[in-house]
Amino acid sequence: MPKLPDRDRLLAALPEDGTFVTNREVREKLHLTEDRYWEVRNELFDEGLIIIGRGYGGRVALKQATGKVASAGKPNGASEEIIEIEEDVKVEKALYQPFADAIKKLSQDEGLDQFIVQVTAWATKRKNLGPWTQPDVCRVSIQNLMYLKQKIVELTTYEIKPNICDVHGIYEALSHSRRAHRSYLAVYTKNQLGDLAANSRLERLKIECARTGVGLIVFDDPYDFNTYKPLVEPRANFADLSEVNDFIATEITEKDKILKWLM
């Protein structure tokens, strides 16, 4: 009997009544590696087949008919959680532009003269792409190696989360490394750092970022770049240059600037 695809196995592993189970429980049941599990799980979430719950390490459940209410007329637990997640999505979208503006200021502080920072998350909606294929914000910078008589194009990507998330955010950022020289996970802490559970999740993020080579940035105020703190520096990737070129060609609106800088 042929083996079912991972996505079908994951769906079959979830309770039919929509009860939440932990990501770890499902991953271990299916014997999937972490990166493969997060990839499949996020694909199913993007297609609207599952919902993602809160808690340490995160939880997942089959998506039930929306709008279900308890007998008292109040939303049930799953519905309340869906509403909270939808609110997080709204917050994340609102972070894109102020985050991009802050990265511009930080780039200037780093001494970069030739760079472009752009919100690229909207292409996910335009092209019906999943969240694992498109960074939220990216920076294209030019390094002039005067003594080597070379100019190098560097693409840096940023995956933004509206709260101190579980490790799936790291694997989203890591998925960009195929075409990015450096990849970051950027977390909006919004004064969560006094919470013990949030601090524990942040420590896990720091450990996993250091292990995978993903950079980690936290910020309390998206409009104040002085609150942006790098906690883990990313490792440089050997990105596929053809992928970098295609990304610039299709996603960067000011690509003509790059051509002029390279002349």
What total number of domains does the chain contain?
2
Query: Tell me, what's the pLDDT at 179?
Result: 87
Arithmetic mean of pLDDT, 107-111 = 90
- Across the range 103-119, mean pLDDT stands at 93
Q: Is 82 part of a structural domain of the chain?
A: no
Residue 257 in domain: yes
**Of 62, 80, 103, the domain-final residue:** 62
Q: What is the pTM of this model?
A: 0.71
Residues 109 and 46 placed together within one structural domain of the fold: no
Amino acid at 8: D
pLDDT digits (tens, 9 = 90+) for 4-15: 889 999 999 999
44 shares its domain with 150: no
Instruction: Looking at the structure, tell me whether residues 109 and 222 fall in a common domain.
Output: yes
Given a cut of 60, whether residue 71 has pLDDT beyond it is: no
Determine the average pLDDT of the residues in 164-191: 89
Do 57 and 104 lie in a common domain? no
Q: Say yes or no: 38 and 132 in one domain.
A: no
Boundary-marking domain end, from 24, 44, 62: 62
Q: Are residues 256 and 147 in the same domain?
A: yes
Q: Is residue 71 part of a domain?
A: no
**Cα–Cα distance, 94 to 91 (Å, whole number):** 5
Q: Is 30 part of any domain?
A: yes
- Whether 187 is covered by a domain: the verdict is yes
Taking CA atoms, 90 is separated from 181, 228, 257, 258, in Å, by 29, 21, 32, 32
Give the three-class secondary structure for 48. Answer: coil
Q: What is the structure's pLDDT at 67? A: 47
pLDDT at position 55, please? 54
Greater pLDDT, 115 or 238: 115
Task: Mention every residue, 6+ apart, whose C-beta is less than 8 A from residue 45.
Answer: 51, 52, 131
At residue 17, does pLDDT exceed 90?
no
Residue 143 lies in a domain: yes
171-194 average pLDDT score: 88
Could you tell me the CATH number of the domain that includes residue 43?
A: 1.10.10.10
* Structural domain for 234, as ranges: 91-262
Whether the CB-CB separation of 249 and 255 falls below 8 Å is answered with yes
Residues 57 and 173 in one domain: no
Is residue 106 domain-shared with residue 223, that is, in the same domain? Answer: yes
Q: Quick check: is 105 in a domain?
A: yes
260 has pLDDT over 80: yes
| pLDDT bucket at 190, cuts 50 / 70 / 90 | confident
Q: Which of 44, 62, 80 is the last residue of a domain?
A: 62
Q: Does the residue 79 lie in any domain? A: no
Assess whether 224 and 96 both reside in one domain. yes
Same domain, 164 and 241: yes
Least confident window among 33-47, 151-165, 177-191: 33-47
45 and 153 fall within a common domain: no
Residues 50 and 113 in one domain: no
Q: How far is CA 228 from CA 5, 70, 128, 187, 241, in A?
A: 41, 42, 31, 10, 30
Q: Is the pLDDT of residue 128 over 50?
A: no
State mean pLDDT over 152-157. Answer: 95
- Looking at residue 123, its pLDDT comes to 66
Judged against a pLDDT cut of 70, whether residue 109 lies above it is answered with yes
Q: What is the pLDDT of residue 86?
A: 59
